[in-house]
Structure 1
Amino acid sequence: MYLPLVAGVDGSEPSLRAVDWAADEAALHGVSLLVLYGALWERYEGSALARELGKPFARVEAEDILRAAAERARRRRPDLLVTTETVPDEAEHGLVCAGRNASMIVVGNRGRSGVADRLLGSVSRTVAAASDCPVVVLRGNHDDRAVAGRHGRIIVGLGDAPTSVLQFAFTEARLRRVPLTVVRAWRCPAHETVDHPLLTGEPARLYEERAAKELEAALEYAPSDIAVRRRTAEGPARSVLPAASSGADLMVIGRRAHGRLGRVAHSVLHRSACPVVVVPEQR
């Protein structure tokens, strides 16, 4: 049985654009789409009070938002199975719970409380940090499409535990029929100088060679049906990867399975010029 893809909505334009992207992605993977809205009206007002006063405004609003989002997804992908759900909880908690039985979660980078497109909303940040499944945060100008992007390229940042993130990136590249660029950032530590006895005057070259070897080792068993490009780049990964995102349709990064975003993931989510997928390590 294939797990559904989940899209979080709150009625904001970024969240409705996320529904477009999620519909494409669900169709691409051959799974259903669950559109989810987090609302607290049941918790605060209670079912007895709701019966006395009729449906509260918050519930009417939730139903309207979900109906509009579902219709939007069905118009975009007529053959896609679309369901909706309202959860009586904060949006971030509802999405994280839904992610336990989902193939992927798609959210906008900010919601109705957002003040600027460059800022990352609390919901997207929390879900990306805590979800058990990959989370797509829609950064940049993605033209509301998960496929047929302008650049025709996926970039993956190679960290210290690459298995989960690489497998995800391979799958996405294969489905989209685009090449995959794997980036390994490297740095020459500030305390290393040409006077170091082990470096014989060429510290930068040695660190770059080490990064290239790590890249080759990680890609030793890369699928033969995918065009994989290798790239090493000098600098901290939190700067290298956002810079590389300007030439990609999708950026894939990893996240350690402890419920927190590291410095690299945090920086990429704030600065990427394209949608970002945060893939948790396999436990």
Structure 2
Amino acid sequence: MTNPPDRPLVVGVDGSEPSLRAVDWAADEAALRGVPLRLVYASLWERYEGVALGQDRGKPSEQVLAEDIVATAARRAERRHADLKTSTDVLPEEPEYALVRVGRDAGALVVGSRGRGTLAELLLGSVSLAVAAHADCPVIVLRGSHANRGAPATRGRVVVGVGEEPGVSAAAVRFAVREAALRGVPLEAVRAWRCPAHESAGRPPLTGEPARLHEGRAAETLEAAVREAAERYPDVDLRRRTVEGQARRALLDASLDADLLVVGARRDPGHHGLQLGRVTHGVLHHSACPVAVVPHRA
């Protein structure tokens, strides 16, 4: 999928420290892309507050709080980048549904790793996970050191995972190469491979297919996935790496010294569950850097 370059970057805010750090990161990203920043707060306060009003404001107290939250976030973004065009929205909806809906007109969505709520003890907040699993645009979830501070990227590398499905990998690579070009940093494309003997514990080693054959196939898959990107962005330092072992482990290791890890996610029409593969689900929970989930409609 592609998004027009002038579509806004949307960031979900809820007043928590992770969401404020997401505002910092998103403001930097919007300034880098040269697009507007849209700050969105969503909550079903009407369900819980009824007609209770904020003192002297004539509005439900939760709505008053929400408006203060987005106003504070907007000031924070504008202090960070004085010329950044910002807008705010307060929506009386469940956060995950609101962000997915708003994401239909966004270039990308940015969410913190955790938010407020009863599921905050999970490794990844339920809202962030739901948005990453259902949005029609790329979703950037702040993980690792970038979830602990709002700081510009300093490691100087974007990593993209190349999987089994060509369409899913192509969407992820297109997004990743644009991000690398914007940052002026190398892009490393990673493809994991394993011999069949390594996939089934207890079986004797197979000798019919040597390891170099599997590694060669992985290299061919990797080259096919990045060929178009290499041609369209010849100035990007595009590095190819095949790794023996589990894809999840290979990408988590690569995230240790990356600014952004990009993975693809298949979107099947009519499917309403979490549309994330095992590898994407795993890196969302454990990555040491921000993760961009790029959807591809089957």
Q: Please, what TM-score do these two structures have when normalized by structure 1?
A: 0.91
State yes or no: 1:150 paired with 2:154.
yes
Does the residue aligned with 1:243 lie in a helix, a strand or coil?
A: helix
Aligned partners of 1:115 and 1:59: how far apart in 2? Answer: 22
User: Are 1:268 and 2:283 an aligned pair?
Assistant: yes
RMSD (Å), alpha carbons:
2.1
Which is worse superposed, 29-38 or 52-61? 52-61
Unaligned 5+ segments in structure 2 are 269-273
> 1:219 Cα shift?
2.2
Q: Distance in 2 between matches of 1:121 and 1:262?
A: 18
Deviates more, 1:187-196 or 1:243-252: 187-196
Distance in structure 1 (CA, Å) of the matches to 2:45 and 2:105: 24
| C-alpha distance in 1 between matches for 2:123 and 2:174 | 29
Q: Tell me, what secondary structure is at the counterpart of 1:111?
A: coil
Q: Which moved more, 1:34-43 or 1:74-83?
A: 34-43
Aligned to 2:271: none
Q: Please list, as runs of the form range in 1=range in 2, the aligned pairs for 1:119-198 lying within 5 A after superposition.
A: 119-142=123-146, 143-145=149-151, 147=152, 149-159=153-163, 160-161=165-166, 162-190=169-197, 195-196=206-207, 198=208
Q: Aligned letter for 1:144? A: G
Match of 2:257 among 247, 258, 265: 247
Give the counterpart letter for 2:258 in structure 1. Answer: A
Letter in 1 for 2:288: A
Q: 2:107 & 2:76 partners in 1: Cα distance?
A: 21
The CA distance in 2 between the partners of 1:81 and 1:135, in whole Å, is: 20
Query: Is 1:217 aligned to 2:224, yes or no?
Result: yes
How big is the shift at 1:237? 1.0
Match of 1:94 in 2: 98
CA distance, structure 2, for counterparts of residue 195 and residue 16 of structure 1: 52
CA distance in 2, matches of 1:178, 1:280: 23
Question: 1:91–1:123: 8 Å Cα contact kept in structure 2?
Answer: yes
Counterpart CA distance in 1 for 2:206 and 2:133 is 42
The answer on 1:230 being equivalent to 2:240 is: yes
* Cα drift, residue 214 of structure 1: 1.1
In structure 2, distance between residues paired with 1:227 and 1:43: 52
Report the AA paired with residue 263 of structure 1: R
Q: Deviations over 1:159-198 (max 9, x none)?
A: 22221111101100000000000000111123586554x4
Tell whether the 8 Å contact from 2:54 to 2:61 is kept in structure 1 after alignment.
no
Unaligned ranges ≥5, structure 1: none
The residue type paired with residue 257 of structure 2 is G
Q: Aligned partners of 1:195 and 1:153: how far apart in 2?
A: 37
Count of equivalent residues: 274
The sequence identity of aligned pairs, in percent, is 56
Provide the C-alpha distance between the structure 1 equivalents of 2:105 and 2:130, rounded to a whole number of angstroms: 18
Amino acid at match of 1:225: D
Q: Give the aligned partner of residue 13 of structure 1.
A: 17
Asked whether the 8 Å contact 2:160–2:173 carries over to 1, the reply is: yes
Encode CA deviations 1:26-66: one digit per residue, 9 max, x unaligned. 111111111000111235556xx367993222112101111
Question: Which letter maps to 2:244?
Answer: E
SS in 1 for 2:145: coil
Distance in structure 1 (CA, Å) of the matches to 2:45 and 2:120: 25
Alignment CA distance shift 1:69-1:234 (3 Å): same
> Corresponding residue for 1:77?
81
Q: CA deviation at 1:220?
A: 2.2
Offset from partner CA, 1:88-131 (integer Å, 9 cap, x none): 11111110000011000000000124656x81000000000000
Distance 1:195 1:163 in 2: 32
Q: Distance in 1 between matches of 2:154 and 2:30?
A: 20
Alignment map for 1:27-106 (pairs within 5 Å): 27-43=31-47, 45=49, 49=51, 54-106=58-110
- The AA in structure 1 aligned to 2:15 is G
The answer on whether the counterparts of 1:43 and 1:89 sit within 8 Å (CA) in structure 2 is no
SS at match of 2:256: helix
Alpha-carbon distance between aligned partners in 1 of 2:206 and 2:254, rounded to the nearest angstrom: 33
TM superposition shift of 1:151: 1.3
Contact 2:53 2:61 in 1 (8 A): no
